[in-house]
């Protein structure tokens, strides 16, 4: 199964992106091909060097885990609007576009939005 997960919320302050990535990790373990597309404030989830309090979840590490079996795409327009450059995101993440998101949406068996 091909699953596309869209994340819109920032990495911290709400738990929507965290919960979306928890599901992405579980689906990746279930032999589903998972693509995570980060939009709006969610592009910051892929920022390198996140330092969080001990015992608190780290979305950078969660994204890297999902990327091992799947794919992590970031909205390039959203990155630009937030001053986030390609050098500031995880190596496993890839700048993407709306046309690519449209293609992935049409090809997906399931699309989930957080």
Segments in the chain forming alpha helices (H): 16-29, 59-69, 76-81, 98-107
Could you give the maximum distance between any two Cα atoms of the chain, in Å? 40
pLDDT at 88: 97
Lookup: tokens for 92:
């496993």
**Contact between residue 29 and residue 62 where contact means Cβ atoms under 8 Å apart:** no
pLDDT of the residue at 91: 96
User: In this predicted model, what pLDDT tens digit does every residue of 51-109 receive, in sequence order?
Assistant: 999 889 999 999 999 999 999 999 999 999 999 999 999 999 999 999 999 999 999 99
Domain covering 2-113: architecture: 3-Layer(aba) Sandwich (3.40)
Alpha helices for 30-89 (secondary structure H): 59-69, 76-81
pLDDT digits (tens, 9 = 90+) for 6-56: 999 999 999 999 999 999 999 987 778 999 999 999 999 999 999 999 889
- Cα four-point dihedral sign 77, 81, 83, 89: negative
What pTM, to 2 d.p., does this model score?
A: 0.95
């Amino acid at each position: 199964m091909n699953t596309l997960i869209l994340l819109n919320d920032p990495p911290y302050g709400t738990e929507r992106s965290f919960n979306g990535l928890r599901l992405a990790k579980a689906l990746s373990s279930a032999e589903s091909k998972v693509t995570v597309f980060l939009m709006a404030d969610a592009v910051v989830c892929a920022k390198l060097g996140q330092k969080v309090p001990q015992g608190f979840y780290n979305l950078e590490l969660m994204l890297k885990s999902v990327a091992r079996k799947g794919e992590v795409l970031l909205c390039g327009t959203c990155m630009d609007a937030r001053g986030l450059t390609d050098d500031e995101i995880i190596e496993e993440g890839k700048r993407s576009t709306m046309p690519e998101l449209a293609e992935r949406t049409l090809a997906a068996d399931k699309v989930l939005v957080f």
